[in-house]
Structure 1
Amino acid sequence: MGCLKTLKVWIFVGVLMVVVWEEVNCRFVVEKNSLRVTSPDGIKGIYDSAIGNFGIPQYGGSMAGTVVYPKDNRNGCKDFTQFGISFKSKPGALPTFVLVDRGDCFFALKVWNLQNAGASAVLVADDIEEALITMDSPEEDHASAEYIQNITVPSALIEKRFGEKLKLSVNGGDMVNVNLDWREAVPHPDDRVEYELWTNSNDECGVKCDMLMEFVKDFKGAAQILEKGGYTLFTPHYITWYCPQAFTVSKQCKSQCINHGRYCAPDPEQDFSSGYDGKDVVLENLRQLCVFRAANETKKPWVWWDYVTDFQIRCPMKEKKYNKECADSVISSLGLDLKKIEKCMGDPEADEDNPVLKEEQDAQIGKGSRGDVTILPTLVVNNRQYRGKLEKGAVLKAICAGFEETTDPAVCLSDDVETNECLENNGGCWQDKAANITACKDTFRGKLCVCPIVNGVQFKGDGYSSCKASGPGRCKVNNGGCWHETRNGQTFSACLDHVDGKCTCPPGFKGDGLKSCEDIDECKERKTCQCPECSCKNTWGSYECTCSGDLLYMRDHDTCISKASAEVKSAWAAVWVIVIGLAVAVGGAYLVYKYRLRTYMDSEIRAIMAQYMPLDSQNEVPNRVSDLDRA
C-alpha cells in the first residue's frame, strides 16, 4: 500500500514536470572554459570544454599539466588500484591530466576513481559527435553521496573529435601539454558581483536538502561581509511550479499549491495523507522572499541570511515547528515589520496571481548567457550558472572570480579561498626589508609585483627589481631609498624632495648617494685654512679652522687677524653707524622744515592776492567802505 502511494505521488509530479517543461520551453546553458594545447604543434590551439557539475572548478585561475591516457580501465569506471596504476605527479613534475572515455558509469564516479589514483584533473572524451553537455552528478543517495561530496579535482568534458586527437598524440609518444583556464568562466564586468541562490525552505528532502542547509549556515558570514561592504548584490530565489488546469481541483493540487494551482511545490514527505503539504513549503518560500524584501527596504538585505539560518535551527519539520507561529517569532527577534511581510505575502486562497511568486516564475526562464533554472539548489554568478560543489570555499572562489583583477575584497584573500603567494620569498617582487615595504600584492588570481603607495607617496619602478619613492614627500618615506646617517645627534641625508628619484650626497660628502656617502676631508682635499697662522681640523660633514695665539680666523677671507684689530674695527664700525644715523636724522628734519615753510608762504601769498584779485573759487570780499558810508 505504501509503495502504491509513493507511485501515485511520483506519477503526479512527473506529469506536472512534463507539462511545465513543455510550457516554458526550457533552455539549459552549458558553462564552458578554455582548454589550450601548448604542444605538440600538430594539435596546438584553444578548444572548448564543459565544466563538470561537481568537484571544485578553479574559478579565476588556471592549471597546466600533461595528458595521460591509461592503457587499462579507459572508461575509469573501476578502481585503478586494481590495475596497479597511479597518476600522482612526481615532485617538480607537471600535474597529470587523465583522459578517459565516456560511458558505462556516472561521470562523477569516473572522476572519483581518478582522484583516488592521484590525477590532478580529469578530461572525459565524448563518445558521440554532439554539442558539449554538462557532466552532472547522479541523483544522490547514501551510496553516491559519500564520493560526490568529496570530489575536489576539476573535470571537463571535451568533444569526441578533439578527444581522438589527444589519444593519437599520447599513443604516438608525444608529450601533450595542456592548460585549463577558468579565468573567464565567470565574467567580471564591474567592481561588484551579482549572484543569486535558487533555494528551498524544505528541510525534509534528503541529502540535497541537508547539503543546502549546511551550506547556508557556513556561507552566511562571508555573504554578509561581502554584502555589507557593497562588494556584492545578492538575491534569493525559490522555484515553484503550477498545476495543469485539468488537475487544479484534485486533492494533490490542493495540498501542493496556493492561489488555485498557480504556485506549487512537491510534498515534503512524498505522502499526501500525512505530515506537511507542498503548499506549506510554498508559503514559507514566499515568506522568506518577503523577509528579503522587507530587509532590503531597511537597507539591510543581509538580514535574510539571519532569518533563514535561524528558521532552520528553530523551526525544523522534524520537530513539527515548521509553521507561521515559529516563523513570526524569528521575524520579531530580528526586528523586522511583521505587518509588512504579511501584506507582501498576500492571500494564498485568492484566485489571482501573487506578484512576488509570479516574478519568481518569470525569473526561472533563462535570459542571455544563463539557462533556465530547473534544479535545486542552483547558484548563478554574474548571470552564469555555477558548476561545482556547493561548499563555502568553492562558492567563494566562483564569486571572487567575478571581480576584476586587483578589486578583490579581503574575504577573497582568506584561507578559505587562496594561499598568500607573497609570504614565500616575497613572491619574487622588490622589497625593502628595513622599511617593511614590498611591491608584492596578493590577489585572488595570484600575486602582482606593483610598486606601492606608502603614506601618500608613490613608488615607481618595475616592481620586480626596483621601486623608488617619487614626488613631494618622498624623503619622508625611508629617506626616498637614499643614504642617510645620524651621528652625535646630527643627521645627513642624500634625499632631496625637489630632485625626483635621485640621491645626491649632501655638501661635505661624496659617494653614489644611494648606498653610501663618505665624509670629505676638506683639510686634505680642498684649499681650506691656507694662511700661515691657520690650522685645520676635519669634522663629519664639515671642517674647523683655528688660528694660533690671539688671532681670530675670518672664514670668508680664509685669513687670521688679531682680536684687537677686530675690536678696533668693530668700534669704528659702531662710530660710523652713529654718524650715519645722525646725518640721516638731520637731513630728515631739514626736509620737514623746508616743506612746512613753503606751505606757510604759499598760504600767505594766496591771502594777499585774494584781496585784489579774487579767485574763481573764492567768494567776493565785502566792501567795507560802503558799509561805513551807510553808517
Structure 2
Amino acid sequence: MGKSSWKLLFLGFMFLCLNVRNSVSRFVVEKNSLMVTSPEKIKGSHDSAIGNFGIPQYGGSMAGSVVYPKENRKGCKGFDEFGISFQSKPGALPTFVLVDRGDCFFALKVWNAQKAGASAVLVADDIEEALITMDTPEEDSSSAKYIENITIPSALIDKGFGETLKKELSGGEMVNVNLDWREAVPHPDDRVEYELWTNSNDECGVKCDMLMHFVKEFRGAAQILEKGGYTQFTPHYITWYCPQTFTLSRQCKSQCINHGRYCAPDPEQDFSSGYEGKDVVLENLRQLCVFRVANESKKPWVWWDYVTDFQIRCPMKEKKYNKDCADSVIKSLGLDGQKIEKCMGDEQADSDNPVLKDEQDAQVGKGSRGDVTILPTLVVNNRQYRGKLEKGAVLKAICSGFEETTEPAVCLSGDVETNECLDNNGGCWKDIVASITACKDTFRGRVCECPVVDGVQFKGDGYNHCEVSGPGKCKINNGGCWHESKDGHTYSACLDSEDGKCQCPQGFRGDGIKNCQDVDECKEKKACQCPECSCKNTWGSYECTCSGDLLYIRDHDTCISKEAREVRSAWAAVWVILIGLALAAGGAYLVYKYKLRRYMDSEIRAIMAQYMPLDSQSEVPNHTNDEHERA
C-alpha cells in the first residue's frame, strides 16, 4: 500500500473515531453578517461563512459595491488575461467581487481577484446546502506561493442568495453590501481566553510551515498579553485513536501509543523509515506537560519559549527530533524535567493517559464552538478563528474579544486599528483650552464618554456637553474662572470650597469669570489710615510703611516706636523671669512645709508614745522597769 493510500486510511480512522466516540459531535461554521444596503427591494441581513485564509476584519466591518464579472466567473484564471480590473475609483466604495464555486481551489479564486484589485470576495455556492468553511488546499506546494500573500477577506454565500445578487446586477442595479465581523467573536469582559490547536510535527507540508512561522512570530505578543493578565492561553494537540480491529497492525503500532489509544500520522508517510507517528504523539504529550508544569509555577508563557526553541534546535530534517534534544531545551528553560516525565506517564501502558484523554475530549465542540477538525485551529472566546495564521490578523481577532474600553494598549497600536479620535475628535465633546476630550479610542471604534481627569469626574452626554461633577472643579482649567499670574504671584477666582463658584479673590473686583481688576486700597482709603502711615498699592494687595523709626502694625493699622516696643519687650522679659522665680520659690516652700510637718508629727508622736498609749497604738511595754526587776 502506497503513502497516499495509508494517509487516506488514517484519515478514515480519524473520521470514524470522532463519530463513533462522540455521537453528539457537530460541525459549526464560523459566520459573519452580510447586510445588503441597496437596492431597497433586497435589503436585509444574510449569513456568510468566513474563509479560512486571508485576513478577516475581526471587530470591524467593510462596505463595498458588488461586481459580477462577465468573463472568468469562477475566478480560476487571472483576470488580467481578460483585461478586467476591480480597482475602485477614488471616492468610490471598495469592490467586492462575486465569483461562482467550482473548478479550482477557493483560495485561488480569492488570490486572482485580489491581484485584480478586489477588496473582498464573495463565493456563491453551486448547490443548495448548508454553508461550509472554505479552506486552503492540503499539501499543495504550488498553492503555498499565493496562500501566504492573500490579505483580503472572503466569504461563502448560499446558492439562493447568490442568484438574487446576480439577478439584480444583470438588471443594471447597483448592489451595495456591508460585511460585518463585529460579532464574529464574543466580547463579554476584560479578559480573552484563546487556545491553539497545534502539532509538534514540522514535516507535514505547507500548513506546518505556516504554523511554525506563526508560533515564532506571535510569541512576543502572546507573552506580553499573558504576563499582563489580559489573556488566558491554552495549547491543544489533536490525537486520534486506532479502531480496535487494527490495533495490532504494523501501521497502528508505529503511529500510536498506549495500545492504539493515541495516534498521529506518520510524518513522512513512509512506515519503513524515518520518524513514526508515535514519535509525534510523544512530543505533543511532552509539550502539553511543559505547559502544565509551567502553569503550576505561574509562568504559562514559558510554553511559547519551549515550542519555539524546540523548532529551532530539534528539527526533523536534522534528525534531532528526539527526547535528548527536548530534555536539553527543558533544562535550558529551568523547567522541572522530572515533573514533566511524571506528567507524561507510561506510553506502553494498556490504559488511558489522563493528559491525552483530556485532549481527545476537548476536540468535541462545546457551546458555540464546533468540533476541531482543521489543523491548525485557533479558538478565541470559544469561537473558531478563520483566516490567515499571521500575527497582525490573529491579534485583531484576539483584540475583538475584549469588552469595549478594556482592551490593552497593544490593541490600540497603529498597525492593529485606526484611532478614530484623531479625525475631528471622533465627533465627541472637547475642551479646547484644557485639551480634554470625551473621545475614547477602542478596538471596535471610538466611544464618546465624559472623562475623569486628575481624579475629577466630568458628566454629560459626551457628544455635545461635559462638565465637572463634584469637588475638584478648580483643578481643571481653573473651573472656567478668571486667573492670572504677575510679579511672582498667582490668583484665581475659583472657589473649590463652594463647588467651583467664580468669585474674585480679596484685593480684586469683577465678575470672577472673565475679569478681576486690582483694587487700589490706597486710593480707596481702605488701608494705612494712621497719620504717620505711607501707602503703596501692589497687584492684589498693598504695602504700608511708617515715617522715621516707627513700625507699622497691620492688625491695628497704626505705627509704634521701635524703642517703645523694645522697652515693652524688655519689661515683659523681666516680668516673665520674676514670675518664674516666684513660682519656683512658692513650690519649694510648699515642699519644705509638707516634709517639715510630717517630720514634726512623727517626732511628737514618738515622745508622747513613751508616756501614754495613743488611740491608734497599743500600749508600749516599759522596757526600763523590766530590766531593773531582772537585775
TM range (shorter): 0.7 to 0.9
| CA distance in structure 2 between the aligned counterparts of 1:513 and 1:140, rounded to whole angstroms | 78
Q: Which residue of 2 aligns with 1:618?
A: none
Structure 2 distance, partners of 1:225, 1:283, is: 29
Deviates more, 1:58-67 or 1:234-243: 58-67
Partners in 1 of 2:306 and 2:164 — Cα distance?
53
CA distance in 1 between partners of 2:376 and 2:39 (Å) = 41
Equivalent pair of 1:379/1:385 in contact (CA under 8 Å):
yes
Q: What SS is found at the alignment partner of 1:359? A: helix
- Which residue of 1 is the match for residue 43 of structure 2? 44
CA displacement at 1:349 relative to structure 2: 0.7
Alignment-derived partner of residue 14 in structure 2? 17
Post-superposition Cα deviations, 1:118-177, rounded to whole Å, max 9, x if no partner, equal 222222222332222222222242211111111111111222222233333333333333
Aligned pairs for 1:126-275 (under 5 A) are 126-275=125-274
Distance 1:75 1:512, change over 3 A: farther
Question: What code does the residue aligned with 2:180 have?
Answer: D
Instruction: Label 1:148 to 1:546 Cα distance change in 2 as closer, same or farther (>3 A).
Output: same
Q: Which amino acid aligns with 1:16?
A: F
Residues 1:525 and 1:45: Cα distance change in structure 2 (over 3 Å): farther
Which residue type is aligned with residue 13 of structure 2?
A: L
Matched, 1:338 2:337: yes
Distance (whole Å) between structure 2 residues aligned to residue 492 and residue 292 of structure 1 = 62
Aligned partners of 1:469 and 1:501 also within 8 Å:
no
Contact 2:14 2:241 (C-alpha < 8 Å) held by counterparts: no
How far apart are residue 386 of structure 1 and its match?
A: 0.7
Contact 2:64 2:96 (C-alpha < 8 Å) held by counterparts = yes
Q: Take 1:207 and 1:512, find their aligned partners in 2: how far apart are those partners?
A: 76
Q: CA deviation at 1:352?
A: 1.0
- What is the CA-CA distance between 1:370 and the residue it aligns to? 1.1
Give CA-to-partner distance per residue, 1:157-211, whole Å, 9 cap, x none.
2222222333333333333332221111001222211111111111111211111
Instruction: Please name the residue that 1:593 is paired with.
Output: none
Larger displacement relative to structure 2 (386-395 or 432-441): 432-441
- Does the CA contact (< 8 Å) of 1:49 and 1:132 recur in 2? yes
Matched residue SS, 1:53:
coil
Name the SS for the 2:215 alignment partner: helix
Distance 1:415 1:521 in 2: 54
How far residue 356 of structure 1 moved from its aligned partner, in angstroms, is 0.9
Per-residue CA deviations over 1:265-324 (Å, capped at 9, x if unaligned) read 111111111111111111111111111111111111111111111111111111111111
Equivalents in 2 of 1:134, 1:11: separation in Å?
A: 21
Measure how far apart 1:237 and its partner are.
0.7
Question: Could you say which residue in structure 1 is the equivalent of 2:282?
Answer: 283
Q: Which structure 2 residues correspond to residues 85-484 of structure 1 after superposition, within 5 A?
A: 85-431=84-430, 435=434, 437-484=436-483
Q: CA separation of 1:81/1:504 partners in 2, compared to 1, >3 Å: closer, same or farther?
A: farther
Is the alpha carbon distance of 1:163 and 1:483 closer, same or farther for their aligned partners in structure 2, counting shifts above 3 Å? Answer: farther
Distance in 2, matches of 1:323 and 1:19, equals: 30
AA of the residue aligned to 1:204: E
Distance in 1 between residues matched to 2:434 and 2:447, nearest whole Å: 20
Shift of 1:12: 3.4
Judged with a 3 Å threshold, the aligned counterparts in structure 2 of structure 1 residues 554 and 212 are, in CA distance, closer, same or farther, namely closer
- Between the aligned partners of 2:132 and 2:183, the Cα distance in structure 1 is 19
Instruction: State the one-letter code of the partner of 2:487.
Output: N
CA contact (8 A) 1:80 1:86 kept: yes
Q: Aligned equivalents of 1:523 and 1:171: distance in 2?
A: 88
Q: 1:517 maps to what in 2?
A: 515
CA RMSD of aligned residues (A): 3.7
On the 8 A contact 1:470/1:480 being kept in 2, the answer is no
Q: Any stretches of 5+ residues in structure 2 without a counterpart?
A: 547-551, 569-631
Shift of 1:495: 2.1
Q: Which residue is equivalent to 1:594?
A: none
Tell me the CA shift for residue 429 of structure 1: 4.2
Pair 1:376–1:486, CA change in 2 (3 A):
same
- Tell me: CA distance 1:510–1:307, structure 2 relative to 1, closer, same or farther (3 Å): same
Q: Deviations over 1:73-99 (max 9, x none)?
A: 333222222233222222332222222
2:216 aligned partner, one-letter code: K
SS of the residue 2:441 aligns to: strand
In the TM superposition, residue 467 of structure 1 has moved relative to its aligned partner by: 4.1
| In 1: Cα distance, 2:511 partner to 2:259 partner | 88
Identity over aligned residues, as a percent? 78
1:469–1:481 CA contact under 8 A, matched in 2: no
Amino acid at match of 2:515: C
Q: Is the 8 A contact 2:255 2:265 kept in 1?
A: yes
1:179 alignment partner, SS class: strand
Which moved further from structure 2: 78-87 or 288-297?
Answer: 78-87
State the aligned residue count: 565
8 Å contact kept, 1:468–1:480: no
Following superposition, the deviation at residue 544 of structure 1 comes to 9.2
Instruction: Identify if the C-alpha distance between structure 1 residues 355 and 427 changes in structure 2 by more than 3 Å, giving closer, same or farther.
Output: same
CA contact (8 A) 1:468 1:481 kept: no
- Alpha-carbon distance in structure 1 between the residues aligned to 2:127 and 2:509: 78
Cα gap change, 1:137 to 1:477, in 2 (>3 Å): same
Q: Displacement of 1:434 after TM fit?
A: 6.2
Deviates most, 334-343 or 441-450: 441-450
Structure 2 residue 11 is the aligned partner of structure 1 residue 6:
no
Give the whole-Å Cα distance in 2 for the aligned partners of 1:319 and 1:201: 15
